[in-house]
Amino acid sequence: MARMDSDRLRQLLGPAVRSVTYLPETGSTNLDAKELATKGKELPLVVVADHQTSGRGRLDRSWYSAPGMGVQVSIAARASAHPEALGAVSLAAGLATRTALAAQGVQAGLKWPNDVLAGGKKIAGCLIEIVSTGGPSAAFVAGIGINANHTQLPQEFSEVATSALLETGETCDREKLVADLAKGFLAHIERDPAEVVDLYRQVCDTIGRRVTVELGGSSVEGVATDVDDHGRLVLDGNQAVYAGDVVHLGQKLG
Ligand code: BT5
């Protein structure tokens, strides 16, 4: 298995991150980061693994990783005390992933809230979880999985998923990808949440499309007209959706 160079990773991450935990293999980096944060480890902290045996998606779904191929990273940090900060955290994870992939030659788009798609296929996903550590503002873990150097993906989602290597034909630099992502994400969460939402609106591929949003048992359909200051998706100009799985039903409307 190709292992990340953890010394290089630490060097690229620099002093903005208080602690970096590199693991050749773990169950879930989100669980590891939550445990470290709950035990009072100084934030922000980063946990990176070359492989996850129980990688988690949203709503108890699972996240697939192939040993030494992907990027599995979790960043535990504290959100600002601003009421809109947590919505912006979710958008910031997608934004930072998109930018870090661009530095590896992958032009990706964002499906609300933070699925990262290349050529319409999922290349990365984000899972944000709140952690109770006390203190003046919420602590959270942002877990991001990126299909980096996979030469193929399991048949069950090969039609709907891709990797950086499959998109560019080049092996991507996983240590740099992690460092760019973590530093970009931490810079975003220092910003005014309204600024993050503005940046997000400029690159969100969902705005302007007819969509279905699956809400766990029910679904709504409409035209995604905006993302509001809380990071919610606005349908038809008047219905704000907090969470859900979006399906893009067509091209962007003029
Ligand atoms: C996500 O969930 O997209 C969030 C994934 C977050 C994974 C990271 S890895 C580091 C950290 N530690 C963790 O344990 N988790 C985080 P969701 O939107 O629910 O998408 C999950 C669905 O995507 C699955 O049900 C599959 O259909 C599909 N899927 C699973 N693995 C995939 C992969 N590697 N690439 C593309 N699609 C995948």
137-186 pLDDT, tens digit each: 789 999 999 999 999 999 999 899 999 999 999 999 999 999 999 999 99
Is beta strand 19-23 parallel, antiparallel or unpaired with respect to 139-146? unpaired
Residue 56, SS3? strand
Model pLDDT, residue 133: 76
Model pLDDT, residue 205: 97
Q: Which of 62-101 are b and which e, b meaning 16 or more Cβ less than 10 Å from the residue's Cβ?
A: ebbbbebbbbbbbbbbbbbeeebbbbbbbbbbbbbbbbbb
Mean predicted lDDT score pLDDT of the chain = 95
Model pLDDT, residue 13: 97
Model pLDDT, residue 217: 86
Model pLDDT, residue 85: 87
Taking the C-alpha atoms of residue 36 and residue 142, their distance in angstroms, rounded to an integer, is 14
The pLDDT tens digits for 196-244 are 999 999 999 999 999 999 988 899 999 999 999 999 999 999 999 999 9
Closest listed residue to residue 36, CA positions, set 75, 93, 9, 82: 75
Model pLDDT, residue 83: 74
Model pLDDT, residue 251: 82
Higher pLDDT, 132 or 42: 42
Does the pLDDT of residue 18 top 80, yes or no? yes
Q: How far is the CA of 184 from the centre of ligand 1 (A)?
A: 21
* Distances, alpha carbon 4 to alpha carbons 50, 144, 175, 241, 253, in Å: 7, 16, 6, 38, 43
Query: Crossing angle of helices 193-203/85-102, nearest 10°?
Result: 50
Per-residue pLDDT band for 74 (boundaries 50, 70, 90) equals very high
Q: Which residues contact 34 (CB under 8 A, 6 or more apart)?
A: 76, 129, 131, 141
Q: Which residues approach ligand 1 with their CB closer than 6 A?
A: 28-30, 52, 55-59, 61, 63-64, 72-74, 122, 125-127, 143-145, 147, 157, 161
Q: How far is the CA of 166 from the centre of ligand 1 (A)?
A: 18
Q: How far is the CA of 113 from the centre of ligand 1 (A)?
A: 14
Model pLDDT, residue 80: 81
Model pLDDT, residue 84: 79
Per-residue pLDDT band for 105 (boundaries 50, 70, 90) equals very high
Which atom of ligand 1 is nearest the CA belonging to 156?
27
pTM, entire model = 0.97
- Helix (H) / strand (E) element for 184: namely helix 174-190
Model pLDDT, residue 34: 96
Does the pLDDT of residue 79 top 90, yes or no? no
